[in-house]
Structure 1
Amino acid sequence: MAQKKQTTMNKPITRFMKHLHLVGLFVLIAYQQVSAQSTMDLRQCIQYGLTNNAQIQQSQLVVARTNEQRNETRAAYLPQLDGSVSLTNNLQLQTSILPGEIIGQPGEEVAVQFGTKYNVMAGVDASQVLYSQSLIYGMKIAEKSSTISAISAKKTEEQVIYDIASAFYAAQVSFTQQAIIASNIAQVDTLIRLTTIQFDNGFAKQIDLDRLTVNRTNLQTDFDNSNQAYQQQLMMLKYYMGMPLDTQLELPLIDSEANAVKLTDPEALNQTDLSLLQAQQDLYSMQLKQIKAGYIPTLSLAFHSGIQIQQNDLRIFGKDADWFPNSYVSLNLSIPIFDGLARNSRVKQMTFQLKESELSEQYLLQGLTMQRTNALSKLQINQAALENQRRNIELSRKVYEVTQAQYTGGLVTLTELVNAETALKESQTNYLQSLVQVKLAELELIKTTGTYTSLN
């Protein structure tokens, strides 16, 4: 008779268990619907960050500044034109001592003052560098500095992309775990209500309810911890994106069936790092040539044209104002002879710096090669672990389905069914963790190869 009651009681339980997973599905759908309006995927987060990240904006300002410095250097080889106007009031004219023979007083010295009280001059000065090897290299250095700042800006963008992607994956897995735990809580709540009915009818024990309650408490703790981790990771993601921290942002649930990121060239090395170092080497080489060019004479042309008037009464615009023109043109050759060996010391310093840069390039190539090899190995290991977790999910699902059938037939207790359900959810969580590890390994490989276009 008890067996018949158990079978009768299990019929609604069977129908309930068939739809138990739908509860979790509805919870996941609800999570997505609530955040649909403010959900951003990885590409959207990256694009937002490339526009709003403060480091990127700062690097763009550096590029603009170095471009203007380049223009400033070019200006040194263009004609220079200056105008000047001066008004001098000789409060007390300078006195000169002349021999008296000049004025018919031989043997005496005569004090004489020359000039007028007011002296007004106006003129234009023009100059043009005709040849300066040092200036020529200076313009090349400014051009290379502009190139370096552009490469550095690109490197900053790549680092921001990496930081955003890392924070995105970490936050996304916490959000997905949160949704899974919420699904588990909903299922356990339903089981508690059902077991309470069974207990009231004498078909369940108090220990079953106690175990479910403990399970429910543990799940709530896991949910709170996951939510806290998600909020912290979401805050970090906003920081990397340059988004106001009080802005509402939600992420999509992680796609467990998502394909791996397609790398354009997994055997490549990060060209940005190499390009930056090579550009710096070119800069050092040009600076060395510029220092050596200091031994070469420079040739310049100068021109002056002006007018001058001298009066004791300041009437420069009067009819009797006599303005006298003056002008000259000069060709100037500057020949360096001896500077106390200062230039020779600078040549040696720059030679050492250039050799240091060449060694840095070798070290960088070795480091990038090592990082790429390690990243590929890490990716392969994590992909294998992911496949193992995928099989583990299938096995856990089969165990759960068998346990569910046995529970329907009254062969196992409710606690065993809950344990099977928990094992299934744990395998799902482990799979998500493995999936994130694969994503992070892909990200490390992208960083070492410089293939950031595969992300955005």
Structure 2
Amino acid sequence: MNNKMKSYSAFTLSVLMTFFLNGYAQSDKLTLQNAIRAAKNNRRLLASLEMETRISQLKTTELNARYLPKISLDYNYQYHPIIASGIIPLGELNSNVPTGAGKALKMGTSYTQNAGLTVQQPLLDISVSKLVRESKLQEKLARLNEKDAELELTYEVAKAYLNVLASAEQVRIAVNDTVRTALSLKMVREKFLNQRILKAEVNETLVTHYDNVQQYHNARNAELVSRQYLLYVTGNDLSGAPLLVLEDYNLSQDISDMDETRLTALPKIEILKIKNEVLNNKEKLERLKYSPLINLNAYLGGDQFSDRLNPFKQNSWYGNSYVGVSLKLPVLFGEQTAKRLSQLKYQQRQNEYQMIEEINRLKHDIQSTAAKFINILQQLNTLTGNINLSSETVAIYQERFKESQLSLNELNDREVRLQHLKLQYEKLKKELIIAWLDWKKANGTIEFIK
């Protein structure tokens, strides 16, 4: 029994030394703002969404290039095993021949080649402007998705950061509880050695102390896990978790009224608005399917006619050129445009309903999280007072027990009650963090965390 008690006294001393040494292990402190900045710089998810924005920008540039002229070098070689014939109306050319007389003549040579430069300049294609607009809207969507991901990442980093601080506070409380029960254990051991209390009472004290020691281990492990998660969300090496030191952060207790203008400007709402603009643009594009396409075409080149394959044969090449305008007017596409337009209308209405639901949800979240935050603050204030009173009571009970004015069971009972109050306090502190972050996320101010 004495050996066990001595080992736990040594353990308590080591807990204190480890706790205080860790507090001064590193001078550089990580701030919440720096943690958020590191996450934005290091996480590949944001880099991927940034690439999506650049891809959309390149697509817009590509569509704008459709207005540029298309220039091509053309070359054709043809061999004609059978040369097509044409009927010559001899009667029209020679009065000595009957009027209806004609003669079949071969029209061409065995080998033909042509080479030249073709230019096509679009003059009218209304659909291109709509395609360019849609591409620009897709750029906006990509930027909004990136912004939304940044807000989600800010929320996660802030939650992880504040959880580390809460876990560190829980370790400090566990250390104090372990020291307090170790002091009680020391007094019990002295009385046991003087044969003033029973072994059963010593066992009860040991159980209480063992529970506090385990709570300390649990708190240390929870702190390490929370540190590792913070390093993960910020994109840093997890091996630095034991040496990570954070700057304290005080939650603002100012819960202001909601700003509906800010709500409608949130990325999730803006995304639905832009999606409706895309659908509206698709609707216009659908109606433009039957609009005319006008191009300016030009050609400059030469043709060769020869009975043998000889590209350099003299007097066999003949110049050829043209400049003209082509008009293409679509008539039927094999599609039901009216059905397609109705589908687009329904999709726009669906997005409008989603916007209304999302705004109503955000309003509810703002009100409910604000009420929850205020209620938790009240509970914490009450618990703080109760913990202070209980701590004072435990100290008094320890003195009375030392003077043999109080039973050990009463002292153990008070220590267990105090431990329960502190566990409840730490649980509420973590709930307060979540409520505060959820409120800032719902009202659109999560990005302004400093």
Q: Where does residue 307 of structure 1 map in the other structure?
A: 302
* CA–CA distance in structure 1, aligned partners of residues 146 and 325 of structure 2: 44
Distance 1:305 1:347 in 2: 44
Q: Does 1:450 align with 2:448?
A: no
For residues 281 and 220 of structure 2, the distance between their equivalents in structure 1, rounded to whole angstroms, comes to 56
1:141 match: 134
SS in 1 for 2:294: strand
Q: Which residues of 2 match residues 398-409 of structure 1 at below 5 A? A: 398-407=392-401, 409=403
Paired residue total: 431
Q: Which residue of 1 aligns with 2:154?
A: 161
CA RMSD in angstroms, aligned pairs only: 3.7
Partner of 1:290: 285
CA drift at 1:147: 0.7
CA distance change for structure 1 residues 112 and 226 in 2, over 3 Å: closer, same or farther? same
Change (3 A) 1:60 1:120: same
When normalised by structure 1's length, the TM-score is 0.80
How far apart are the structure 2 equivalents of 1:418 and 1:316? Answer: 111
Task: Report if the CA contact (8 A) 1:24-1:184 is conserved.
Answer: no
C-alpha distance in 2 between matches for 1:155 and 1:448 = 12
Moved more, 102-111 or 133-142: 102-111
SS of residue matched to 2:133: helix
Cross-structure match for 2:50: 60
Q: 1:278 aligns with which of 254, 257, 273?
A: 273
Tell me whether 1:72 sits opposite 2:62 in the alignment.
yes
Q: Which deviations, in whole Å up to 9, do the C-alpha atoms of 1:344-395 show, x marking residues without a partner? A: 2222221222222222222222222122111221112112112212222222
Give, in whole Å, the separation in 1 of the partners of 2:294 and 2:177: 85
- The residue number in structure 2 matching 1:88 is 77
**In 2, are the aligned partners of 1:176 and 1:254 still within 8 Å (CA)?**
no
Residues 1:437 and 2:428 are matched in the alignment: no
Give how far 1:421 is off: 4.8
User: Does 2:358 correspond to 1:364?
Assistant: yes
**What is the aligned partner in structure 2 of residue 47 from structure 1?**
37
Q: Which amino acid aligns with 1:130?
A: L
Separation in 2, partners of 1:25, 1:393 = 22
Pairs within 5 Å for 1:121-270: 121-123=115-117, 125-189=118-182, 191-193=184-186, 195-202=188-195, 205-245=198-238, 248=241, 252=245, 258-260=250-252, 266-268=258-260, 269-270=262-263
Task: In structure 1, list runs of 5 or more residues that go unmatched.
Answer: 1-20
Judge which range, 138-147 or 329-338, deviates more: 329-338
Q: Which residue does 2:20 correspond to in 1? A: 29
Q: Distance between the aligned counterparts of 2:317 and 2:398, measured in 1?
A: 115
Deviations 1:106-165 (CA, angstroms, capped at 9, x unpaired): 989757362242514132x32233233322222111111111111111111111222233
Q: Report the Cα distance in structure 1 between the residues aligned to 2:134 and 2:230, rounded to whole angstroms.
A: 38
The 2-side partners of 1:293 and 1:108 are apart by 51
How has the CA–CA distance of structure 1 residues 440 and 117 changed in structure 2, closer, same or farther, with 3 Å as cutoff?
same
Determine the C-alpha separation between the residues in 1 that align with 2:257 and 2:312.
79
Would the alpha carbon gap of residues 306 and 220 (structure 1) be closer, same or farther in structure 2, given more than 3 Å must change?
A: farther
Counterpart of 2:304, as a letter, is: I
Q: What pairs with 1:410-429 in structure 2 (closer than 5 Å)?
A: 410-413=404-407, 416-417=410-411, 419-429=413-423
CA distance in 1, matches of 2:382, 2:244: 27
Q: Distance in 2 between matches of 1:253 and 1:429?
A: 22
Indicate whether 1:114 and 2:108 are aligned.
yes
Deviation per residue, 1:161-186 (Å, 9 max, x gap): 22233344445433432343244334
Q: CA deviation at 1:216?
A: 2.7
Determine the C-alpha separation between the residues in 1 that align with 2:29 and 2:191: 42
* Structure 2 partner of 1:5: none
Checking the alignment, whether the CA contact within 8 Å between 1:180 and 1:425 is kept in structure 2 is no
Contact 1:155 1:273 in 2 (8 A): yes
5+ long unaligned stretches in structure 2: 1-11
Which letter maps to 2:81? Q
Q: How far is the alpha carbon of 1:444 from its aligned partner?
A: 0.8
CA distance in 2 between counterparts of 1:218 and 1:445 reads: 36
Percentage of pairs with the same residue: 17
For 1:77-117, what per-residue CA distance to the aligned partner results, in whole angstroms no more than 9, with x for missing partners? Answer: x2132222325151635342656969999989757362242
Amino acid at match of 2:177: N
* CA gap 1:91/1:325 in 2 versus in 1, 3 angstroms: closer
* TM-score, structure 2 as length reference: 0.81
Secondary structure at the residue paired with 2:24? Answer: helix
User: Which segment drifts farther, 417-426 or 436-445?
Assistant: 417-426
1:14 corresponds in structure 2 to none
1:384 aligns with one of 378, 383, 401: 378
Instruction: Provide the C-alpha distance between the structure 2 equivalents of 1:380 and 1:264, rounded to a whole number of angstroms.
Output: 12
Distance 1:112 1:299, change over 3 A: closer
